[in-house]
Structure 1
Amino acid sequence: MVKIAENIIVGISIGDLNGVGSEIVLKTFEDNRMLELCTPVIFANVKIMSYLKKVYELTLNFHGIDSLDQLVVGKINVLNVWKEPVNIEFGKTDNEVGKYAIKSFFAATKALKESKVDVLLTAPINKYNIQSEEFKFPGHTDYLAKEFNENALMFMIHENLRVGLLTDHVPVNEVAKHLNEKLIAQKVKIVNDTLKQDFRIEKPKIAVLGLNPHAGDNGVIGKEDEEIIKPALKKIYDSGILVFGPYSADSFFGSNQYKQYDAVLAVYHDQGLIPFKTMSFGNGVNYTAGLSKIRTSPDHGTAFDIAGKNKASESSFREALYLAIDMYNNRNEYKELTNNPLIASK
């Protein structure tokens, strides 16, 4: 069935309740026009969401449900993942509150895997207080890769600026150890496939940054660019993917060189995210590329410093919602266009 507008079911994990997650979620759906685009399901507790609605002086209405079978299209559904009250203290790191963030995320991920929701939006979590025997991951991306048994890539999106990461939550002194031909080929392929099916770019051009200053200066400042990255990129290019580099990272964004490409792959976290967030903070989207399902999130964290003060902007979360819906539609259209009728008829 081809879904239209409000029939797209958006699962939302509520994130850390002591942070700004609930505020940006609720402010997004305070605008009734959002319900013309999708039907949201917030994985939390309806009593807690009603309390938070009052904190932020909002007027939206909830439809509380105990199972996804009770979902009503065109309503703001809140699935009761738990029934007990939670002690919310805005701006504080609390291990107990972290447990509820993970309960919400686990339930939403399960619904996504079972296709009971069409896309997943995740509100910010605190990477410290979510750690437990059940969750030993640096963030959402790594857990989703494990759950779907697929290779995932952190892909930051803002309009035509798209930045992916070869390595994400890896200490800087270990980045070089992770670099190899297989990893580079895997990540470039994910970006290439994503640009084709989710962004409908027919022949993507991908730039890859160098690890060392000046991309190693022909081996004078480190050998990884010459010995690992360049040979890997040549093989990938020869296979038919339009990939270029490695480029010196220090001037790549400031010179607007990035505008010549459909996406950029940075070697490590801060190399890509510092320029990305400098240019787009508050309006960017974190997208998990490489999965068979769609997951997006805002480009910021829990923002404990302003939590509970009614100061948080919902802009990035709203952009994450728009992007998830657009990619859901693009991916379905791509599947239809590329579907092999001989295979489909078997």
Structure 2
Amino acid sequence: MSKEDKIVVGISIGDINGIGSEIVLKTFEDARMLEFCTPVIFASVKLMSFFKKHFEIDINFHGIDKIEDLVPKKINVLNVWKEHVDVTFGEENKTGGEYAIKSLRSAVSELKNGKIDALVTAPINKSNIQSEDFNFPGHTDFLAKELQGESLMLMISEDLRVGLLTDHVAVKDVVKNITRERIDKKINTIYHTLVTDFGIERPKIAVLGINPHNGDNGVIGAEDDELLRPALDNIRKNGKMVFGPYAADSFFGSLNYKNFDAIIASYHDQGLVPFKTLSFGKGVNFTAGLNKVRTSPDHGTAFDLAGKNEANCESFREAVFSAISIFETRAQYAEISKNPLQPAKKKLYTKKKSK
């Protein structure tokens, strides 16, 4: 495709019995979206036509059988399959998971081949996707295997970015999964992505403690003093502006998070509960650290809303915009890095300053 064409955004359809189809259609029902990208939905024209009729959405598809046939500035639907598929809205079943993975595998294949520029994934169900040849807790773990780099779940909104030291790990296993090596890798990953993907020249990163009150000098736990603090001290010696550990219980309520470009939480709910409280419906899940761009909405399949035409597409739309922005910023950074003697271009990625 020529440079004049819009960024090609691939879309995996997610669980066909959830709200994925609805939020995808509602997002691109607004024709202005085609001014920003060329979407490719990985599903089938038959299935998308069913959804279009069910939700009474005025939208036109361009069906294709191979990615090379996509038409810029049209809503392309790549026929990953052509057979009829029964949709049972709101039901968690094997069919929903099977076709979600068919869509995802096809989209990731084209992402790896460079046929699409970025990937936006509609929600899947972590239970019904499991099979003999797909045994991953979710998108992030699958993408970490398929793509290059050190993956990190980074939840982003307009004024908040939250990353995790451990993501889909049982609470009882959190501490044993936090090692010096993991701390170094995750902080280096988030630092790099803030520079290259968000255009922040000197990021400031806050790290939340592992135990309540950072262990209260060992009374509640020793991990913060014996593991986390020494690791952060060493990272600071290398010139990175990393602060903490901070007690998690008061960090967000005090608005301290506004002083940083990103926050790293020790485990899933420590970071995602405050993030979704502050940004739910507008947040985006970005898989940072990989060589390709992938985003998704900040919610799940919402089986209770499926088929009722009541789903809000705002988070999915933000995921599309974030994918486009991150892809462009990354491309600009790569171009500037090739030409370090052209300081005028530096404005492209240093316009956002640390707070």
TM-score by length of 2: 0.94
> Which position in structure 2 is the counterpart of 1:180?
179
> Which position in structure 2 is the counterpart of 1:192?
191
For residue 121 of structure 2, what is the amino acid of its counterpart? T
2-structure distance, mates of 1:149, 1:223: 35
Residues 180-259 of structure 1 correspond to what in structure 2 (within 5 A)? 180-259=179-258
> Which position in structure 1 is the counterpart of 2:159?
160
Kindly indicate whether residue 85 of structure 2 is the aligned counterpart of residue 86 of structure 1: yes
- How much has 1:218 moved relative to structure 2? 1.6
For residue 213 of structure 2, what is the amino acid of its counterpart? H
> Which position in structure 2 is the counterpart of 1:147?
146
1-structure distance, mates of 2:159, 2:291: 23
- How much has 1:149 moved relative to structure 2? 3.9
For the Cα contact (< 8 Å) 1:121–1:321, is it kept in 2? yes
Residues 1-346 of structure 1 correspond to what in structure 2 (within 5 A)? 3=3, 7-339=6-338
- How much has 1:241 moved relative to structure 2? 1.0
Give SS of 2:290's match: coil
For residue 58 of structure 1, what is the amino acid of its counterpart? I
1-structure distance, mates of 2:159, 2:237: 26
- How much has 1:339 moved relative to structure 2? 1.5
For residue 211 of structure 2, what is the amino acid of its counterpart? N
Query: Cα deviations across residues 268-320 of structure 1 (Å, max 9, x unaligned)?
Result: 00000000000111110000000011000000000000100000000000000
Change (3 A) 1:261 1:3: farther
RMSD of aligned Cα (Å): 1.2
2-structure distance, mates of 1:297, 1:97: 18
- How much has 1:336 moved relative to structure 2? 1.1
For residue 147 of structure 1, what is the amino acid of its counterpart? E
1-structure distance, mates of 2:189, 2:270: 19
Give SS of 2:163's match: strand
Query: Cα deviations across residues 243-276 of structure 1 (Å, max 9, x unaligned)?
Result: 1111000000000011110000000000000000
For the Cα contact (< 8 Å) 2:148–2:291, is it kept in 1? no
2-structure distance, mates of 1:163, 1:101: 27
- How much has 1:97 moved relative to structure 2? 2.0
- How much has 1:148 moved relative to structure 2? 1.2
For residue 298 of structure 2, what is the amino acid of its counterpart? D
2-structure distance, mates of 1:309, 1:279: 26
For residue 262 of structure 1, what is the amino acid of its counterpart? D
2-structure distance, mates of 1:306, 1:212: 37
2-structure distance, mates of 1:248, 1:31: 43
Give SS of 1:154's match: strand
Give SS of 1:120's match: strand
Query: Cα deviations across residues 214-233 of structure 1 (Å, max 9, x unaligned)?
Result: 01112121000001100000
- How much has 1:240 moved relative to structure 2? 1.1
Query: Cα deviations across residues 44-81 of structure 1 (Å, max 9, x unaligned)?
Result: 00011011001111110000000001100011000000
- How much has 1:341 moved relative to structure 2? 6.9
2-structure distance, mates of 1:268, 1:3: 41
TM-score by length of 1: 0.97
For residue 146 of structure 1, what is the amino acid of its counterpart? K
For the Cα contact (< 8 Å) 1:66–1:79, is it kept in 2? yes
In structure 2, runs of 5+ residues without a counterpart are 342-355
2-structure distance, mates of 1:165, 1:2: 38
In structure 1, runs of 5+ residues without a counterpart are none
Give SS of 1:134's match: coil
2-structure distance, mates of 1:288, 1:218: 34
Give SS of 2:129's match: coil
- How much has 1:331 moved relative to structure 2? 0.6
**Aligned residue pairs: how many?**
341
- How much has 1:340 moved relative to structure 2? 5.3
1-structure distance, mates of 2:340, 2:228: 39
1-structure distance, mates of 2:6, 2:256: 40
Identity of aligned residues (%): 63
2-structure distance, mates of 1:97, 1:86: 9
1-structure distance, mates of 2:287, 2:154: 6
Query: Cα deviations across residues 85-119 of structure 1 (Å, max 9, x unaligned)?
Result: 11100000011221000000000000000000000
Give the 4+ runs in structure 1 shifted more than 2 A. 1-4
For the Cα contact (< 8 Å) 1:86–1:97, is it kept in 2? no
